Amino acid sequence: MIILGLSGAVGHDASAAILVDGKTIAAAEEERFLRDKHAKNKYPLEAAKYCLREAGVQPEQVDVVAFPYAEIPLTSPARWHYAKRYWYAPDRALDAIFNGNRRFRRNRDHVLALMAELGLSRARFVPVEHHLAHASSAYHLGGFKEKTAIVGIDGKGEYATTFFGYGENGKIHKIKEFYDPDSLGGLYGAITEYLGFEMLDGEFKVMGMAPYGDPKKYDLSRLLEFDGGNFRVNTKLINVVGLRRYKENGKGYYFAKALVDWLGPKRNGDEIDHPYIHYAAAVQDLLETVALKLIDHYVGDIVRETGRIAMAGGVALNVKLNQRIIALPGVKELFVQPASGDAGTALGAATYVAAELGENVEPMRHAYLGPSYTTAECIAACEAHPAKPQWQRIDDASAKGAELLAAGHPLAWFQGRMEFGPRALGCRSILGDPSHPGVADRINAQIKYRERWRPFCPSMLDRAAADILQTDHPAPYMTFTFDVAEHWKARIPEVVHEDGTARAQVVTMDTNPRYYRLIEELEKRRGIPVVLNTSLNRRGEPMVCSPADALDMFFGSDLQYLIMEDVLVTKSDIYD
């Protein structure tokens, strides 16, 4: 059975994924091919073409196209809840009741047109509820055999914003859903906008800002009502539509003027900290408090029974929340889908349909599911690039990379298959030696051009991880923070955040041998089995995909060294 998953229904993060007989062969975001971050209002044409190529599948061989957006019947409480809560915008409220699947029909028609363009003549179109796709992406790929609690928290899908359920014997069971506008992801996104960042993109920045503030300095609890089992967002302040939206320079925001009247002017510019760092700390604390209590309320008994949780949805990328989930009593292991945002729903829809059709879905072993390029293709890109790169072939990329890192240089590292999801995991990365003071600031200022308080992450050898992180919890995807052991903080200062934590990737030889060897080679030179790792892109751009993208990024920054497969590219003024 060949199943192609296509996402793009929610207007951002379009992606494609392909399963052959239950095995994930390829998955990629459309933004990487279009060079347009989040690929807003696009459908995954190029990503789908790539997936078919990678799988060696002809379009007419595809059996099913799975799509993570479905019809919601009028008998569901979702549409009635939406109508009731949006009473102040009667056009939207009435639309939910009388024309509540309008967006589904529009999306379906776009996907059917895309299928025709791709030549998927035999494929059957199968819609999957958005939150079931999130749930499947975590549960079916998490590899747990025991009964597993499933948590899905995001902005919203069709109407649902939050999902609690469990997986058992390959089947997903719903326990509870919450519906728009009652959305923790929406709440966090609204404050993200208020703090001067872009919703659906800047939530990571709020999370990075939070440790610099005091969560007790401002009480943001009036943003929602919460009784331990149910919550209701205050739509006089946030998660607002229509005339309630605060407007500035002609742009409407997801919060109301009443929020500005309460908290003060919206933050503008990178340099303003107070009181906004305290608001970031307070909203992070509110998210953690409410989410943890909801998890305990709805799936706490399952957690205490088996200790397993699978999680997806945009809020599942909040690594500070995830650290606290791992610390809950009874939790043995938390699996967070590395592409937890809406891009991951292409893979989730495909795995859900595969499981429903009785296929055995193979657990996810790694996130290296995108395109790869040969050394010859990298050389061809150098020869064709207008900047006339100076390059040389090298015998041992890992050793040469470690030599440059040990000398204190940042290094662009382009190897193997591109990662699926927002995290660079050693194939499309900018690297640094975390024991070199100032290397993080140098990368921030000269290459990434991003906010000074955003942390960088460590990739570390599996044999050293338990000593550094004080736990043996699996961490292959940078989806958790951990408390760094005291005796390591001074040794790797460039990857330890303000609160003493690190968002770590534990690297294994079997999933990324060349990257593993690079870290080993750095350890030989510096005594540190850790490398600083951030994504290979500039601020506002998607992670690079092809050698041409890597060269464009290289020559558009102050980077001096780039290794692509077995090719070393250097800037002309330092070439030897």
Residues with a catalytic annotation lie at: 12
Residue 368, strand partner residues: 419
Nearest by Cα to 112 from 43, 63, 159: 43
> 231-264 as b/e, with b when 16 or more CB fall inside 10 Å?
bebbbebbbbbeebebeeeeeebbbbeebbeebe
**CA 487/CA 228 separation, integer angstroms:** 39
* C-alpha 408 chain-centroid distance: 29
Tell me the two tokens of residue 187.
């709440």
**CA 452/CA 271 separation, integer angstroms:** 9
CB contact at 8 A, 136 and 348? yes
**CA 409/CA 74 separation, integer angstroms:** 60
Q: How many residues does the chain have?
A: 576
Q: Which run of H or of E encompasses 195?
A: none
Hunting for tokens 């799509």 — which residue is that?
A: 67
Phi/psi region, residue 100 (left: phi>0; alpha: psi -120 to 50; beta: rest), is alpha
Question: What residues contact 112, with CB distance under 8 A and at least 6 apart?
Answer: 125
**CA 482/CA 457 separation, integer angstroms:** 11
Strands laid side by side in the 171-179 sheet: 171-179, 160-168, 148-153, 308-312, 333-336
Other CB atoms within 10 Å distance of the CB of residue 91 = 10
